[in-house]
Structure 1
Amino acid sequence: MNVKRYIAKTIPEAILMIRRDLGEDALILYSRPINTAPRWMIWRKENAFEVIATVNQESRKLDELAKEVEEFKRELQVLKKSQESLSLLKKAKRVDEPEVPFLKFHNFRGKTKDSSILISTTGEFDAGARYFFKGLGFYPFFNERAGVIALAFLGPTGAGKTTTIAKIAARMSLLMKKRVCLITLDTFRIAALDQLKAYADIMELPFFVAHSPKELKEIVKKEKNSIDLFLIDTMGFSPFQDSKIKEISAFLSTGIDTEIHLVLCANYKPQELNLYINKYKALKPVSIIWTKLDEVVSLGHIIELSIENNLPISLFGTGQSVPDNLEVASDEFLSNQLNSKYRDFYPEGSGI
């Protein structure tokens, strides 16, 4: 059987080649799209079509022709299996790659060069490189906002929401000259209420307690002409309390143009943090603020959780001092933190 293989950019182009070679009685047996770029150039794509054709001999028995087509299909299956085996072999080789001490120290799941989400500007992973992060976004927290008049801060009890709000209020009112108003919804914890009121008194900022969604709406309506931005401290709660999610949602569904930020402690366990994020996602936060960076050794888990949950990082809390110890999130700051914490344990460094 005179079977020939043709490769062309389009099917019509392949048909012209077949007609020119085999004549009008040619019969197409098989066709498929392929990539004609060299296999080692995995980033490159050159689309084309592979077409298998033969001469249509009317005297040939159909069962004989079908038999040869089946044989050709079997050969293709053998080729496909060999390619799959090659792919598995490559994966096995990647598994055997040495773990990078820097990535292992920070508890990244990808601990080898090829599996890492970090991109090193020097090609090495040590305490002297600058890094970029695959898939990680940063939220410009202190940029001007169009239409937004309130910022609400969510998070579990003890995450540092109140202290973080005080730091933000200080920067906005003292440095950016914004007219800021503090509002708390947390009427369950007297200490949190008193703490925020004390910060408001020190900075000479208006302070209100909203006991209900209706009261929150009335406060904002009454004060909005003299205020640029309302900072709202919500109540903390266990992720297992679904009723609290509904309660906060009611406060944030009063028609006030509100931007929501999730505040989480970096020193929580990754499993707990993932649980909190999944619960609070229902309220549609636009960013994560990671606090207590000064209390953790490694940072891989907070970077990976932010990427996996598609939540950009806006701010980092690095201590209790107000208005200090608040950093804008960026590749540069995060690189410096990774390097600094690594150097604390390995002063001489350990690169590859």
Structure 2
Amino acid sequence: MQVKTFTGATSQEVLTRIKAEMGPEAVILGSRTYRRNGVVCHEITAGLDRDASGSRDREAGAPEGWNQWHKEWMQIKDQLFALMKPAIQLERLTPRQRVALEYLQREGVSDAVAVALYQRLLAEPGASVLECLCGMVPVKAWGLEHWNQRAHLMVGPFGFGKTTTALRFALHLRKTEPEARIAFINADCLRGNGRLILRHWAGLSNFNYMEAPDKETMQQALQAATGCRAVFVDVPGLSRKQNFTQWRAEMGLEALEAATHLVLSPFCDPIQTQAFLSRYKSDGPGSIVWTKLDEAESFGSIVNVACAAGLPVSALSFGAELKESLAPATEPLIWRLIFKRQIPGQAA
């Protein structure tokens, strides 16, 4: 694997360079933000497997030639949507609807989603754009009144903040239920930085902390957390050859009643985001948590992912601090973020 580290003034700038130099198959291995001479710098490490596409197909269990077939299908799909665009008669929309649709496309909303929204607007002439969008982007705010499962599996790629999101979820719960017993089970034991942060904050906040790198220790940890109000499991990031269903089976968690919360950031390109949705797909209840919002330049991908995954948005996360940096999702918060680029908690 070829590994290279990129730095820049913003995460979006760095990701653009990674895509330009290493292509859409590059995998984010880690990221950090630091100050140099008073200037904020963003550093992202990416990796790229240089093996032939045919060997990658066979290693992943896909039929030979899958990558080439998939590439050709994506080209055909783009051409189909290019043909459909002239059929979108914007004059059939009200001026307000037309402005909103054009804005969403500039913000990165995909052609498929734009066509679906256009069709909804035509089918419901009296409806506003927000009314139609609310039917496409479900919301289910974080909080045990909505998420009554005792176990919560925090999943997502490395560097997107799933460990800190688990801590923010727990701190939000502690704020609403001060006496609640909360436990963390760290299954991501190989990454030292996240492990130290989780153990440190668990000790400060009087949360139970356990490590479970394998099936046996996972079962022991779950047994020890039987009396807890909520149990957060920090799932390790998965490679291209893995998926979440396989990981649950390996850890003996197939029968565990749990909610799965996928942590994503809005500056991933569409190909990588689709790969993450497939890799971390879960059959049970789940949600999307959007992180690093303060580093993103646009938020159209929030709409794309909601339509592709069919999962509700549960929370919006921003900033480096653990406290007061997560907001349970609501429709007004999401639409102010997308249309006004207003981060939760900031003044309009």
- TM-score, shorter chain, exceeding 0.5: yes
CA distance in 2, matches of 1:170, 1:342: 23
Instruction: Report the TM-score when normalising by structure 1.
Output: 0.61
Gaps of 5+ in 2: 1-83, 92-97, 344-348
Aligned residues of 1:132 and 1:331 also touching (Cα < 8 A):
no
Aligned residues of 1:181 and 1:206 also touching (Cα < 8 A):
yes
SS of 2:184's equivalent in the other structure is: strand
Shift of 1:246: 2.1
Shift of 1:155: 0.7
SS of 2:281's equivalent in the other structure is: helix
Query: What does residue 289 of structure 1 align with?
Result: 289
CA distance in 1, matches of 2:271, 2:201: 33
User: Deviation string for 1:256-296 (max 9, x for gaps)?
Assistant: 33221111122211210111101211564511111111111
Query: What does residue 108 of structure 1 align with?
Result: 109
Comparing 314-323 with 277-286, which one deviates more in the overlay?
Answer: 277-286
Query: What does residue 153 of structure 1 align with?
Result: 154
Closer, same or farther in 2 for the Cα pair 1:246/1:209, shift >3 Å? same
CA distance in 1, matches of 2:147, 2:328: 20
CA distance in 2, matches of 1:302, 1:160: 17
Query: What does residue 308 of structure 1 align with?
Result: 308
Closer, same or farther in 2 for the Cα pair 1:205/1:96, shift >3 Å? closer
Give the letter for the 1:135 counterpart: M
Shift of 1:245: 5.4
Closer, same or farther in 2 for the Cα pair 1:273/1:285, shift >3 Å? farther
SS of 1:197's equivalent in the other structure is: helix
Query: What does residue 188 of structure 2 align with?
Result: 186
Closer, same or farther in 2 for the Cα pair 1:133/1:249, shift >3 Å? same
Closer, same or farther in 2 for the Cα pair 1:254/1:202, shift >3 Å? same
Matches within 5 A, 1:122-141: 132-141=133-142
Shift of 1:303: 1.2
Query: What does residue 230 of structure 2 align with?
Result: 229
Query: What does residue 253 of structure 1 align with?
Result: 253
User: Deviation string for 1:144-187 (max 9, x for gaps)?
Assistant: 37873211111111121011011111111233222111110011
Give the letter for the 1:215 counterpart: T
SS of 1:187's equivalent in the other structure is: coil
Aligned residues of 2:155 and 2:263 also touching (Cα < 8 A):
yes
Matches within 5 A, 1:313-328: 313-328=313-328
Give the letter for the 1:272 counterpart: Q
Shift of 1:202: 1.7
User: Deviation string for 1:190-228 (max 9, x for gaps)?
Assistant: 111111001112212111111222212222213322x11
Aligned residues of 1:182 and 1:206 also touching (Cα < 8 A):
yes
Query: What does residue 94 of structure 1 align with?
Result: 88
Query: What does residue 68 of structure 1 align with?
Result: none
Closer, same or farther in 2 for the Cα pair 1:296/1:145, shift >3 Å? closer
Instruction: Report the TM-score when normalising by structure 2.
Output: 0.62
Closer, same or farther in 2 for the Cα pair 1:220/1:326, shift >3 Å? same
Closer, same or farther in 2 for the Cα pair 1:118/1:323, shift >3 Å? farther
SS of 1:262's equivalent in the other structure is: strand
Closer, same or farther in 2 for the Cα pair 1:114/1:294, shift >3 Å? same
Structure 1 residue ranges, 4+ long, deviating more than 6 angstroms after superposition? 116-120, 122-125
CA distance in 2, matches of 1:91, 1:276: 28
Shift of 1:93: 5.4
Query: What does residue 206 of structure 2 align with?
Result: 204
SS of 2:104's equivalent in the other structure is: helix
Aligned residues of 2:244 and 2:280 also touching (Cα < 8 A):
no
Closer, same or farther in 2 for the Cα pair 1:313/1:297, shift >3 Å? same
Gaps of 5+ in 1: 1-89, 344-352
CA distance in 2, matches of 1:147, 1:338: 29
Aligned residues of 2:244 and 2:281 also touching (Cα < 8 A):
no
Closer, same or farther in 2 for the Cα pair 1:302/1:173, shift >3 Å? same
SS of 1:237's equivalent in the other structure is: coil
Give the letter for the 2:304 counterpart: E
Closer, same or farther in 2 for the Cα pair 1:285/1:319, shift >3 Å? farther
CA distance in 2, matches of 1:325, 1:133: 24
Closer, same or farther in 2 for the Cα pair 1:315/1:334, shift >3 Å? same
CA distance in 2, matches of 1:316, 1:146: 16
CA distance in 2, matches of 1:162, 1:244: 17
Q: Which has the larger radius of gyration?
A: 1
Aligned residues of 1:105 and 1:342 also touching (Cα < 8 A):
no
SS of 1:217's equivalent in the other structure is: helix
Shift of 1:241: 2.3
Query: What does residue 36 of structure 2 align with?
Result: none
CA distance in 2, matches of 1:286, 1:218: 24
Shift of 1:132: 4.2
